[in-house]
Amino acid sequence: MSLYVFDAYRLDTTPGAPSQIFSPPQGWNGDDVKYLDWLRSQFKSSHCFRQRLGCAARSRLLNRPVQIEGPFSDTLTSAINSLNKEKKRTTV
């Protein structure tokens, strides 16, 4: 699958999941804290990652269903929700 064709409403955090930007590399080992660190490093280094995270946050803000699965789904959900909280604070 191409990196340019994706389902913006289905996010997988399973390490090694093909064509999933929120999926750490195959063989990656870590807990929720390490996954959050990985998310932060991806956010800093990848424009594509920031764009996809923004799309997910915007979808949640507009109450569109976003399916987040995998072992780090709660951590990714928290990261997305924190972006929305920050957005609400700066626009009010």
Up-side HSE of residue 8: CA atoms within 13 Å toward CB?
14
pLDDT reported for residue 86? 65
The predicted model scores a pTM of 0.84
Q: pLDDT tens, 42-73?
A: 999 999 999 999 999 999 889 998 999 999 99
3-class SS string, 16-45? CCCCCCCCCCCCCCCCHHHHHHHHHHHHHH
pLDDT reported for residue 7? 81
- What stretch of H or E contains 64? none
Helix (H, G, I), strand (E, B) or coil at 68: strand
pLDDT reported for residue 29? 92
